[in-house]
Amino acid sequence: MAASTLTEVARLAGVSPATASRVLNGSARTPGPDIAERVRKAADSLGYIPNAQAQGLAKSSSGLIGLIVHDIADPYFAAIARGVQAAARHQNKMVLLATTAGSPADERAAVAAFAARRADSIVIAGSRSARTADKQGNAELAAELDRYCRNGGRVGVVGHAVVGAESDEGYHVVGVPNEELAAELARELAASHAGEFVIIAGPEGLLTSDDRVRGFQRGLADAGLPPADVLHTGFDRTGGYEAGMELAARIGAHGGSGQAGAEAAAPPRLCIFAVNDVMAIGATAALRSKGLRIPRDAAIAGFDDIETLRDFRPALSTVRLPLEEIGRLAVPGAGSGTVGAGTVGVTGEVTLRRSTEPGGEPAS
C-alpha cells in the first residue's frame, strides 16, 4: 500500500497543501488552532508520516547531528559518542553515526553525506593525521568541511584542528592536553621505576600518538633519564598485541621472572607506556601468552581510562580523560568556558594502579 501524501491530508482537512505543510512541518507561520487541529486529525486518520527534509526546510533546522568516529567498537569512541548523544538529546536532536577507521577520504565521504542531509552540525572524533599518505585525503576533507561551514554548518573536532582548513570560522575544537599529561605520567613512573622504558606508539604522523610520545619523552628528560625506545604499530589492540610479542622476546632474552630459573638474578623490569589503553590491553595479552606477568615481569601503563578497564586485571595505570564530557563539549552550542577562539579545553589526571607497582606477584 502506498504511503499517504501531504496532498491527501490537505484534501481530507479541506485546506491547501501549503497550509497542511505549515502545520505538519513545524513552520513558524501556523494557521488558527481549529484549522491546525483539523489537519492533525486528517494526518492521523491517513497514517501520514511527515517528511523530515521538508520539516528541516520549514524550521531551518534538520534536527540532526553527524558524528564521525574511527571505530564505535573501541570503548574510547563509544564513551565520546555517549557524550555527543547526551548533548544532542539536550538540544532535542538526533545523532547520525559514521565509522571511518581513521581514513580522511572516508571522513570526507561521511561529511558530504551529512551535509546532503542538512545536518545542523558535525562532530569529528579521532586523531588527525600528518602522514604523507593522507595529504590528499586531508585536503579533500578540509575542502568539504569548509564548504559545509560556508553554507551555515558548524563543526566540532576532538583534539586537533582539521588539517588544511582555510579558516576557523564555523569550527569548534575540544583541546586535550595529551603532551602535558603524558609528561606528568612519565615523571611519576620515573620516580619509582629503575629499569628501561619503552613506548608503544601508533603510526608516525598520527597527531594524538605523536603528542603523547613527545610528552612522555619530555617527562623522562625532566627526571634525568634517557629517552625511551619507541615501537610504532597500529593504533589499536592488534597493534598493541604485536608490539607486546616483540617485547616478550626482549624480556625473555634478558631473563624476565617468568622465564628465568629460580636462582637467576632478576634485572630491572621493563616499563612499557602504550599511548592508549586498548594498545596496553593488547600488549598485556601478548606478554601473558608467553608466560610473563604484570607487574612481576614488566610494568605497563596506558592512556584514556576507558570503561573496559573496570574489568581488567591487574588494574591498569593510565591517564584519566573525561571522555563523555569531551563528547558533550564537542557538539557546537553545548560547550562553555572557551579558552581561545573556537576552543574548549579539558583536563585529565594521572592514575597509578597495580600494573606499575613495584615487582612481585600479580593480583589474582
Q: Which residues of 264-278 are buried (b: 16+ CB within 10 A; e: fewer)?
A: eeeeebbbbbbbbbb
Beta-bridge partner residues of 200: 231, 274
What is the sign, positive or negative, of the torsion defined by CA atoms of 252, 256, 258, 264?
Answer: positive
Q: What is the C-alpha to C-alpha distance for residues 228 and 273, in angstroms, rounded to an integer? A: 9
22 DSSP 8-state letter: H
Give the least confident one: 47-61, 115-129, 136-150.
47-61
Check residues 288 and 47 and name the one with the higher pLDDT. 288
Check residues 173 and 335 and name the one with the higher pLDDT. 173
Q: State residue 255's pLDDT score.
A: 56
Find the distance separating the first CA and the last CA of the chain, reported in whole Å: 62
All structural domains of the chain, each given as residue ranges with its CATH number in brackets, are: 6-59 (1.10.260.40), 64-175 (3.40.50.2300), 178-320+348-356 (3.40.50.2300)
Q: State residue 339's pLDDT score.
A: 41
Q: What is the C-alpha to C-alpha distance for residues 292 and 361, in angstroms, rounded to an integer? A: 11
DSSP 150-168: HTT-EEEEESSPPTT-S--
Check residues 132 and 361 and name the one with the higher pLDDT. 132
209 in Cβ contact with 239 (< 8 Å): no
Q: What is the pLDDT of residues 172-192, one digit of tens each?
A: 899 999 999 999 999 999 999
Give the least confident one: 108-117, 262-271, 333-342.
333-342
Q: What is the C-alpha to C-alpha distance for residues 100 and 337, in angstroms, rounded to an integer? A: 30
352 in Cβ contact with 315 (< 8 Å): no
What is the share, in percent, of the chain residues with pLDDT greater than 70?
A: 85
Q: State residue 27's pLDDT score.
A: 64
Region 227-238 average pLDDT: 96
Strands 349-351 and 318-320: antiparallel
Q: What is the C-alpha to C-alpha distance for residues 332 and 145, in angstroms, rounded to an integer? A: 14
Residue 215 has pLDDT above 70, yes or no: yes
Cis peptide before 50 (omega within 30 of 0): no
Which is nearest to 66 in space by CA: 134, 135, 157? 157
pTM equals 0.80
Q: What is the pLDDT of residues 241-254, one digit of tens each?
A: 999 999 999 887 66
Alpha carbon dihedral 178, 183, 189, 195, in 10-degree steps, equals 110
Alpha carbon dihedral 150, 152, 157, 162, in 10-degree steps, equals 0
Q: State residue 89's pLDDT score.
A: 93
Q: State residue 18's pLDDT score.
A: 80
pLDDT band of residue 334 (cuts 50, 70, 90) is low
Residue 331 has pLDDT above 50, yes or no: yes
Q: What is the C-alpha to C-alpha distance for residues 153 and 142, in angstroms, rounded to an integer? A: 14
What is the sign, positive or negative, of the torsion defined by CA atoms of 29, 31, 37, 38?
Answer: negative
Q: State residue 46's pLDDT score.
A: 74
pLDDT band of residue 60 (cuts 50, 70, 90) is low
